[in-house]
Amino acid sequence: MYEIKSQDGFTHTASSMSEVWDSVFQAVQAARKTHNLPPLTHNPLTENLGLDNNATVYLVEQLAGVNRCTKYKPRYHNLKPPKSFDSDIVSGSEYGSARAEPFKERKVHDMFSWLASRHRQQPKILAVSEMDVRRAASTNLPMAMRFRMLKETSKESVGVYHSHIHGRGLFCLRDIEAGEMVIEYAGEVIRASLTDKREKYYDSKHIGCYMFKIDDHLVVDATMKGNAARFINHSCEPNCYSKVVDILGKKHILIFALRRITQGEELTYDYKFPFEDIKIPCTCGSRKCRKYLN
């Protein structure tokens, strides 16, 4: 809230500086009209604010807390969204200092936290190579040959980087055509009867659980033994889909492109969780978001 006061009794309050200055300008115009003076053609008071000065704007955009101005469109700086309105407020300690406080609990350790670092920038866009053309043409090959090629090229096609959906996600490093085999959901194949026991163990160790059901008897556990496919996030409007494929007598969970995916786009698919009373919020942010995963 902004307020202007003067010794002659003029007072005005408004929620924006421009509105306050406009009230002063209108008062000046009324006074000039009372004394039979010509009105001002423009508002010179806006220049007093300094917000039209490029150097001033450049400095103001670097002030602390400027990222909270979500409706402001910056001119010179890329403003990061605020984590929390209270994140930069340091609360005092009843013990006088943080070092004097007794031990309460150990912070939960995430062994994959480094993958979500904002300092891990996505790779630059590369030109279309002959190998990309060959990969696109491989959609007409038998499934076994496509899978053999996938094992050699998947590491060059996808990478794990920071994601707005769930902290980290899987991104494509090249253009992927519709129907193309993207990556295999690899891991340790276990019996379905062991999943509950392993989930309880992972929860006790504060480890994220990554499992994918093959059929009623087998499940792929990618928590400790897996590849980058475990980081594919859910989306209510996905660009990939999963499919269990039998190759040479062995079942594999493969991720295929649902449509053409451009380089740098995040790979997502629909988890298709069953409906339950306890809902899991969805953070995909798509236009067709169902708000819940289940």
pLDDT in tens, 99-153: 777 777 666 666 666 666 666 666 655 555 555 545 555 677 888 888 888 887 8
pLDDT score for 256? 94
Residue reference for tokens 């009324």: 30
pLDDT in tens, 185-213: 999 999 999 999 999 998 888 888 889 99
pLDDT in tens, 233-275: 999 999 999 999 999 899 999 999 999 999 889 999 998 888 8
Q: How many helices (H) and strands (E) does the chain have?
A: 6, 12
State which H helix or E strand residue 219 sits in: strand 218-226
Please state whether the predicted TM-score (pTM) of the whole model is above 0.75: no
Evaluate whether 25 touches 49 at the Cβ level (below 8 Å): no
Q: What is the mean pLDDT of residues 6-17?
A: 81
Q: Please provide residue 109's backbone torsions phi and psi, each rounded to the nearest 5 degrees.
A: -95, 130
Buried b (16+ CB within 10 A) or exposed e, 27-41: ebeeeeeeeeeeeee
pLDDT in tens, 168-186: 899 998 889 999 999 999 9
pLDDT in tens, 254-263: 999 999 999 8
Evaluate whether 213 touches 221 at the Cβ level (below 8 Å): no
DSSP state of 249: T
Residue type, position 63, single letter: L
pLDDT score for 91? 56
Residue type, position 90, single letter: V
Q: Is the pLDDT of residue 89 over 50?
A: no
